[in-house]
Structure 1
Amino acid sequence: MTKRFTAFYWMTLPAVLLFFVFLTLPALQGIYYSFTNWNGFGKNYDFVGFKNYINLFTDNNVGNAYLFTFKFAIVVTILINILSLLIAIGLNAKIKARNFFRGIYFLPNILSVLIVGYIFNYLFSNVFTVWGKNLGIEALSTNILGSESTAWIGIVIVAVWQGIAFNTILYLAGLQTIPTTLYEASNLDGANRWQEFWKITFPLIAPFFTINMVLAMKNSLMVFDQIVALTNGGPGRATQSISHLIYIGGFQGGEFAYQSANSVIYFIVIAVISFVQVRFLQSREMDM
């Protein structure tokens, strides 16, 4: 048994080394550079202590990026989980071509985020506007991505459309673990559909709800590809997320050390939000 366990450790060693070299080490280097004024080029830089971190809290661009990201993440997380749960319940019912529809709903998940973003960019700019003008619908007559007040809605639509697929599959997996005898017993007791959902379905898929909420929130907070493909942070900075700001400022704006500090704060924020989500939702599972 000892030799077998030793073999297992040796088998995991390559994965650990790759993880350390390509993820852990760059992260540690980023933390190191966050205490300097390095611009990303050359070898000349000075240590500035916590100056970068202090400046982050007085930077309006950083504040606006965090506000947009939080607003976007909350809206997308709620919409994805509501819609994916409704779709999963529908797909779990005994309908014709059920497996076909499951495949169709999962299709967006296997597509590239950038490709989907560019397709929707074309639709918003050239297709929906033509439809709106021909049908006399003023809301569709203009490109919503071109307005500071509506551009974020376009990004939400794309993120929700593509994000629903994965969450639907998880909810389907959860629904299939519920014994049908529970619903048969509830029907004999005269329970309606809402009572079945609230008293049987939702409590039993609560662990899946926790996973979906955490994953949807994490992915939404890290939104980047959709913004690059749809608005590139515009108009102005109206749709600039934290990830996009770090990329633009760090790799194109000569703020490598400054945005490294921003990425450290960003990591802490996501970790704290995920931890709070898990603890709160798991406590709700115990109360159900």
Structure 2
Amino acid sequence: MATTAARGPADRATGRAAGSAAKGGRLKENQTARTFYWMVLPAVVLFLVFHTIPVLQGVFYSLTDSPGYGDWSFVGLSNYTALFGDPRVMSAYWFTFRFAIIATVLVNALALTIAVWLNGRIKWKNTLRGVYFIPNVLSVLVIGYVFQYLFAGAVPALATALGIDRLSTSILADPQLAWVGIVILAVWQATAFNIIIYIAGLQTVPQELYEAGSLDGASAWRQFTSITFPMIAGFFTINMVLALKNFLQVFDHVLALTNGGPGTSTESVSVLIFKGGFQGGEYGYQLANATIFMIVIIAFAAFQLRVLQRREVSL
């Protein structure tokens, strides 16, 4: 009885201490949660002000005949229905899709090849990585004007000297070939970023796998298809999605090289929206075009992620 009585106050003290500790823990968690929300709030406000609200305003004005200034009237969905019968809009979408798909494939094929090569046992590996990254830090407009000079002057002069009549004039002035010049510029500039992503992925592949493959007599190509590519499938997915998304929004490359010409043969959707919306008095109409284009880009990205992530699982 004495022992039980002696333990009573001690147990009660222990219980009070445990309760205080639990209460202190919950208080600390609440303080942490409040701190987290206060830290996130500025970013949320900035996102709403500079992204969500402008997007919603754009969707609203796409339902009007606004020229970008002055009076406007509500026209409902007539802008959207007119888009599908506009040959200039259809031509811009065709050029954009063709350009984006070709450039995405070329960029990833070239970047993966260079990344695998740079990841091997070669001299000045780090120096070459820095050299290959240079195009990514240069302004697209600046290098675009350099490429314009090359295509308009240097390449025709060299082709004339070699007797290649097809290239004796600027390809940027040829409606059938002008898009090739834009692809070359875009691939040259974008490959750098993809190389860095692939190199980061290659660093995660254990060297023991390659050693085991070599002992089993696997060729370099077999090691790539059975070890390297499956291990960096996630990085491949990231590069493919980002590359296609960026190329669908191609703007600077076209503006620097051809400005959409000759005629409208290289006019991308972004360039058309810019010209028509800000220079042609078609503000409401091109906002409808921009809304459709936003949905298209989201759909492409979602489809890519779904397909490529399934591919990752199968690998």
TM-score bucket of the superposed structures, by smaller chain: over 0.9
Matches within 5 A, 1:262-277: 262-277=289-304
Correspondence for 1:58 among 77, 85, 107: 85
Give the deviation of 1:139 after TM superposition. 3.9
Instruction: Kindly indicate whether residue 35 of structure 2 is the aligned counterpart of residue 7 of structure 1.
Output: yes
Give the Å deviation of 1:140.
3.4
Unaligned runs of 5+ in 1: none
Match of 1:77 in 2: 104
Which residue is equivalent to 2:245?
Answer: 218
1:6 Cα offset (Å) = 1.4
1:96-115 mapped onto 2 (5 Å cutoff): 96-115=123-142
Corresponding residue for residue 45 of structure 2: 17
Superposed structure 1 runs of 4+ greater than 3 Å apart:
none
How big is the shift at 1:109?
Answer: 0.4
Q: Select which of 58, 65, 83 maps to 1:30.
A: 58
**Equivalences for residues 73-222 of structure 1 within 5 A:** 73-222=100-249
SS at match of 1:215: helix
Paired position in structure 2 for 1:49: 76
Aligned residues: 287
Separation in 2, partners of 1:283, 1:113: 34
The CA distance in 2 between the partners of 1:17 and 1:70, in whole Å, is 34
Q: In the alignment, residue 269 of structure 2 is paired with which amino acid?
A: I
TM-score where L is the length of structure 1:
0.98
State the distance in 2 between where 1:219 and 1:193 align.
Answer: 32
CA deviation profile, 1:30-88 (whole Å, cap 9, x unmatched): 0000111111111x211111100000010000000000000000100000000000000
Q: In structure 2, give the amino acid aligned to 1:7.
A: T
Counterpart for residue 21 of structure 2: none
Relative to the length of structure 2, the TM-score reads 0.89
Partner AA of 1:3 in structure 2: Q
2:218 counterpart SS class: coil
Once structures 1 and 2 are overlaid, which stretch shifts more, 185-194 or 274-283?
185-194
- Range that drifts further, 124-133 or 30-39: 124-133
Residues 61-119 of structure 1, C-alpha deviations (whole Å, 9 max, x = no match): 00000000000001000000000000000000011100000000001000111111111
**Aligned residues: percent identity?**
56
Q: CA deviation at 1:19?
A: 1.8
Distance, in Å, in 1 between the alignment partners of 2:220 and 2:207 is 14
d(CA) in 2 for partners of 1:18 and 1:112?
A: 26
Structure 2 unaligned segments of length 5 or more: list them.
1-28
